[in-house]
Chain A
Amino acid sequence: MLFGRKNRKPITIPKKEVKEWKYTTCNYCSTGCAIEIGLNEDKRIVTTRGHAGADVNRGKLCIKGILEHELFESPGRGTEPLIRDKHFEKFEKTTWDNALDTTAKKIKEIQDKYGKDAFAVVSSGQLLTEEFYTLGKLTRGCIGTNNYDGNTTLCMASAVSGYKRSFGSDGPPGCYDDFEHTYCFMAFGSNLPEQHPIIYWRLKEALEKRKFPLIVVDPRVTMLAQFADIHLPITPGTDCVLINSMMYVIINEGLQDQAYIDAHTEGFEAVKALVQDYDPKSAQHICGIDEDRIRSVARLYAKAPSAMSIWTMGINQSTHGSDGVANINNLNLITGNIGKPGGTSLSITGQCNAMGTREWSSCSGLPGYRLLENPDHRQEIADFWGIDPEFFPKKRGLAQTDIFPAIETGDVKGMWIVATNPMTSMANTPRIRKMLESLDFLVVQDVYADVETNQYSHVYFPASVWAEKEGCHTNTERRVSLISNVLPPYANSKPDFWIFNQMAKRFENGQKIKFPETPEGAFEEMKQLSKGANPYGNERTLDISGMSYEKIVKARGIQWPYSEEQDKASGSLKGSPRLYTDGKFQTPTGKANLICVDFYDNNEKPCKDYPFWLNSGRVVEHFHTRTRTGKIGNCNKFSPTPYMEMNPDAARELGIEHQTYVRLTSRRGDAVVLVQLTQRVARDMVFIPFHFHDCVNRLTLGLLDPYSRQPAFKQCSTRIEKVDQAEAARLNAERRNY
């Protein structure tokens, strides 16, 4: 001890006294980080840590993952099933039996009176895969509505649609390891440091080992854009113009991989003809990137020995979402960058188990990427479940974003909302509010009783969360990981798996179909359904038949396809890091489709009345509608209340000051936010995080993508008005119940 100190002061550091570490996987985003939860002698959670031996996160966690274990006992959790006759009455506590019986009765009443499809089921990307599979079985096999979808329509539908159009099947073809092999990295509308910090870290690790060019397309100077070698601050909604123009340069300069194109793709000539309209000289005026930059980026990308693209909501959430994805696939196909190390089209997924719902929930068809439109698939699943194939509709019903408008038209009368919060998350929430209000019957199943959507429900099912349950997630790189059951369910909440199983018993087909008692039993069924060939006789990519819970834990996650044959042959538990390595795609010809993407502009653009682009996005400390992170102080404190990034030059013109309230208006509604002046955003654009209730989505338009039906959250226009500061502050405080 220095400075003359002789007496020893006690050094006290909180001791966690961990007796047992439990393996699990993070339940927030799609990165798929492995977490170990530390339990003390009394089996209470005392700490967590990243699993250093897991390949995805290698011991790292982001702020949300580090503090995730605090959510189990956060305020507002649902403790008992609740029931009421009208949404404006007070809830009363009830038993699970009564809540389930009432719901089943109401579903049947509505279906008898208005038809099968008058009752809709809207789920999520947050459940576990076995739960999705079970919900699909319940909805497709027992309830029989064709209006069944998930909130993945708000985040990943465009990626799914684009993948299907290009490659014949969903499933990101690349993996995080591609960062270690690529020679050019291009991010479209993806801000990894904020949205997927651990994936960013994997990229940073690769960059520190071996420098490669980083190109970022983003209208905002995000941290990733700032760190990029080339930042392209694009005009919102014009990514397709940029990509077409890049392809113009590549094709007209002969930089394409003609051998790959000839061997593995179809439609090159049409694309070549189309892009002739996108000379950088004219394209620059639409996309806002000057012609020299377009050329140099195109050349850089095409000449790299391997190049990869990632994208997130900047592409997906636009009226050209599906087209944007298809066009990124085009870019990678013509440069031969699919299925090789460092060359890929990697959609960075949003929710922890968006992949799980895409694979197994039957939302857009039948389990395992099967299609309702395919009679063989209907037969196969009907046989497997033991029901009549005629029970299935012959084609897919409405997407989530069309189900809600169907309430307006009177086609949908009742709804079951599972683990999603459309009152905050959907575009144009004033409209959504009106729809929910007018439902004859709404049942909300959520971890939190105070989830905003619960305002309009008649029955509330309190669900268990994360490690109170057991089951799998699939991450962005197709890695299936296990969530172990660490804790008993909170109060009288129940795992979603249990709720679906109990509900099934109340339907006729539920007596015929076997619903396994455990998630592992459901996983075994999924394994059976993942075997074999796709409709075109190729090997099914989504093959998990070589996996088991034990093997998944042992390997800390296995990437599909991992077939029984692979497991027998190697036993390495390695899975498949990449798809389409052999150049064979899930299409009738086995070739990938090059898709002509012509640009048209249907966005609501800034005008005299509404002079600003309104952009929205994520902040690292919050997840989705803040139902979880808003209650964890050490997350929430970094943005406890909504704010808006605004350019100081624009603010000066309007006389708006830093850290004051403004009111925004659009053609839909209004919102009150605190102003954060920063040159991060352009003079004609504002940015608002989407996490807050009664905020940005009161303003958004959400035009739908024609293929994916995903809303364009990020492109609409708004006006900024000055507002009385005291009144605004009061309104803001009142809107922040948590």
Chain B
Amino acid sequence: MSKVIENSSADVAVQGFDPATMAIGTEQEGRSNHWEVRTQERSYAILPVTEIQKENRYGQLIDLVELTDLPAERSMFINENPEVGSNPNRNKQHGFFFTADNCIGCHACEAACAEKNDTPAHLAFRSVGYVEGGSFPDYKRMNISMACNHCDDPVCLKGCPTKAYTKHAEYGAVLQDPETCFGCGYCTWVCPYNAPQLDPVKGQVSKCNMCVDRLEVGLKPACVSACVGNALDFGVIENTPENREQCKTQIPGFPDPEITHPNIRFQQTKDLPIEMTRTDSMPVKYHRDSDGNYKPVVDQKQGKAKHWNFSRLNSRENPLVLFTLFAQAAFGVFFITFLGAMLGIEALVSFVASDMFLPLTVTSLLMTTFALIMSVTHLGKPMRFYRGFNNLRYSPMAREGLGLAIFSAGCGLTALFALPTNQWVVAFTSANLGVDLVSLTQGLPLTSLVKSAGILALLGGFGGLFYMNKCYQIKARPFWHHLQTATSFVGNSLSLGAFFGGVIVVSSLLISQAPAALVNQASLVFASAFILGMVIEALGLIKHNSDLNRSENEGGAAHYIQCTTFGKTYLFRNWLLAVNIIAAITLLAINLAGYNEPLLLLAWIALALINCFTAAIGRALFYILVIPTTMPGAFFWKNKAFEQHARDIGLADNPATGVAPLAH
């Protein structure tokens, strides 16, 4: 049982003891050994014994051990310590309570957290930012101290492909193991509160551990105990602390709690101006709605002027741009050709039967391999890439990886089974290696095997593409959480696939002097796929633009940046795409009209190259622009523009600036 120590006034009798020699006092009695309780510890640091509700407001049980088949008394093995914590409420969901009225922005919580967890200056499990509003002297600033909210629905846990996250029945703590993490940063994408911290120096994520060592002995977390404004508190969820009169789930600047059902409650009784702005560079501010809640709206911090900023398209997300484009193109190449043949399109049937099918399959395989290598280089710890399939149960990223792996395997097997029927290979191996592939594989149903492997590749690729899209359907990133992500992925898959596939198929038909009808048919198929891809992408973009123009949230803010900071680039890409579609349709009409000059082929290639260019711009914008529903930052700390500036001018070279130079 927690011992409640009186919050003594100045009149407290001085107890005769020497703190210099008396390391552990009687305060430790009846408590487990997970944390050394301070001599004369005060009530503010001690978890109170209070009545606890059965369910939280979302209908979730607060006693979590009931949700598991675990015994109530079991060790968490913190630092491999086998002792069971002495906290009587250790199986209840706990959470922070933040009295926003009181926070003075003094950083004591952040400092206490950094001190306890030994975090370097460029990382923080807890951060304080602020929103402000009004006009001098009727000015109000509201500081917000935020760490992990140990959510009922931990999107980080579900998103993590490596299974680095665990939601424990003890305290409902969502803990992450940095030694499992491979540094993909996906959890930092899905978390609406910026709780997981990707360390670019170490290449792995770490996060708030709820100070479970302190909780085990009945003490509040370090940040709470350090709070100097009496703003931060902690306890079993849905309990309103003593002296507090509200227990709500929203304050200005805090993302929609419906995304994850976060375990944090607020008091914020002081009236604030109708509009609260952020000092950091995010083009988002908050407006009070008729219910008194504050909703994000676009803050036109960059004015309305349109710029190119072409060089900024080159970003640290380049590997992901290449990964997605190449994977999509690879799938497109194989998909159009192989499915076309399965559907009985004569030109493609004859191509698949030809010796050139093997190089096409190998091209797909190489493109996918390159894509996967790109995605691995994006990891903080690339050598741990194999952990990417650990969380197939929840993580779309794990499933995306698996899908693409199956696609690669399918392509590989298709190629393998196509070897013995490929005349060049057969001739080459018998001449140079003295191996007769035909006799070796006699009796194998090679045609069926090729077909089955191809179907496997199709299914894998389709799954990969599906979950690739799912990866970006993140509620905390409304710019991506849109149909446009899917249309862009499918569209690029078709248009890029048609290009590479078309070049291989049509040129090999031409070289093998196939009948003109077949060449025309193949050209028609790839041209149609090319146009279809671009049209799908364009339709998605139109819808995206129309939706986000009306959107007031972070998606709208990202679109605002798209239309200003990158305004000219964005328009340029859109015009290029539109012109490309028109030109391609015109070319197709000319083709259909019977003109099949080799010059027209060159025109097709030119259009396809332009499409590669627009796709690359589009994908780069996709990554650069996204604005997550993160917490408001401060003027320096957690301000993206300052971080960039500090890197640009060299301030970041001093570790005490708290901005890590980028690792890649």
Contacts and interface: CB of A to CB of B under 8 A. Distances in A.
Given A13-B212, A631-B656, A683-B136, A2 B67 contact: yes
B121 A637 contact: yes
Interface SS of chain A: loop
A63 B108 contact: yes
B136 A647 contact: yes
A683 B139 CA distance: 13
Given A13-B79, A52-B41, A633 B14 contact: no
A685 to B, nearest CB: 9
Contacts of B225: 59
B226 A10 contact: no
B179 to A, nearest CB: 7
Contact of A634 (B15, B121, B158): B121
A555 interface: yes
Contact of A679 (B68, B139, B212, B301): B139
Given A1-B168, A634-B111, A641-B636, A226 B139 contact: yes
B120 to A, nearest CB: 7
Contact of A11 (B38, B78, B111, B642): B78
B213 to A, nearest CB: 5
B423 to A, nearest CB: 52
B137 A53 contact: no
Interface string A1-44: 11111001111111100111111000000000000100000000
Interface stretch (A196-204, A267-275, A382-390, A433-441): A196-204
B135 A640 contact: no
Contacts of B655: 633
Given A8-B77, A633-B656, A729-B649, A3 B230 contact: no
B650 interface: yes
A3 B636 contact: no
Nearest to A12: B79
B164 A9 contact: yes
Contacts of B77: 8, 10-11
Interface in A88-129: none
Interface stretch (A345-353, A570-578, A607-615): A570-578
Interface string B221-255: 00001101110000000000001000000000000
Contacts of A678: 132, 139, 141, 279
A450 interface: no
Nearest to A207: B230
A452 interface: no
A484 interface: yes
Contacts of B642: 659
Given A226-B139, A632-B656, A2 B106 contact: no
Contacts of B132: 678-680
A659 B114 CA distance: 27
B521 to A, nearest CB: 51
Nearest to B41: A52
A259 interface: no
B535 interface: no
Contact of B209 (A13, A225, A681): A13
B80 interface: yes
A205 interface: yes
Interface string A651-684: 0000000110000000000000000101111110
A699 to B, nearest CB: 21
A67 B114 contact: yes
Interface in B609-664: 634-637, 639, 641-642, 645-646, 648-651, 654-659
A112 B255 CA distance: 73
A630 B656 contact: yes
Contacts of B641: 659
Interface string B7-25: 1111010111111100100
A60 B226 contact: yes
Contacts of B394: 3
A636 B658 contact: yes
A572 to B, nearest CB: 7
Interface in A684-738: 729-730, 732-733, 736, 738
Contact of B121 (A8, A9, A197, A636): A636
Contact of B106 (A8, A48, A175, A193): A193
A556 B656 contact: no
Given A10-B179, A11-B209, A730-B649, A23 B79 contact: no
Interface residues of B, number: 106
B139 A221 contact: yes
Contacts of B228: 60, 62, 193, 197-198, 200-201, 204
A393 interface: no
A525 interface: no
A636 B167 contact: no
B180 A676 contact: no
Contacts of B426: none
A680 B141 contact: yes
Given A18-B36, A226-B141, A204 B108 contact: no
B104 A682 contact: no
B281 interface: yes
Interface in A178-208: 180, 193-194, 197-198, 200-201, 204-205, 208
Contacts of A621: 107
B102 interface: yes
B505 interface: no
Given A1-B166, A730-B649, A638 B107 contact: yes
A13 B213 contact: yes
A633 B115 CA distance: 11
A66 B226 CA distance: 9
Contacts of A221: 136-137, 139, 141
A491 interface: no
A643 B212 CA distance: 38
A49 interface: yes
A643 B137 contact: no
Interface string B118-154: 1111100000000011111101110100000000001
Contact of B42 (A52, A554, A572, A634): A52
A656 B637 CA distance: 22
B270 to A, nearest CB: 9
Contacts of A169: none
Interface in A257-307: none
A221 B435 CA distance: 87
B14 to A, nearest CB: 5
B112 A66 contact: yes
A23 B393 contact: no
A731 to B, nearest CB: 10
A634 B115 CA distance: 9
Nearest to B142: A226
A51 interface: yes
Contacts of B654: 640, 736, 738
Contacts of A680: 132, 136, 139, 141
Interface in B519-548: none
Nearest to B103: A223
B137 A620 contact: no
B229 to A, nearest CB: 6
Contacts of A205: 7, 230
B108 A208 contact: no
Given A67-B111, A633-B121, A1 B18 contact: no
Q: Which 7 A-B pairs have the closest CB atoms?
A: A637-B658, A633-B121, A53-B40, A193-B104, A177-B10, A63-B111, A9-B177
Interface of B: 7-10, 12, 14-20, 23, 36, 38-42, 44-45, 64, 67-68, 70, 76-80, 102, 104-108, 110-112, 114-122, 132-137, 139-141, 143, 154, 157-158, 163-164, 166-169, 175, 177-180, 209, 211-213, 225-226, 228-230, 243, 279, 281, 301, 393-394, 634-637, 639, 641-642, 645-646, 648-651, 654-659
17 contacts: A1-B167, A11-B212, A59-B225, A66-B108, A201-B229, A208-B230, A554-B16, A633-B656, A634-B114, A638-B637, A639-B636, A640-B654, A678-B132, A679-B139, A730-B649, A732-B649, A736-B651
Given A204-B102, A555-B14, 5 more contacts: A2-B167, A51-B39, A55-B10, A221-B137, A733-B649
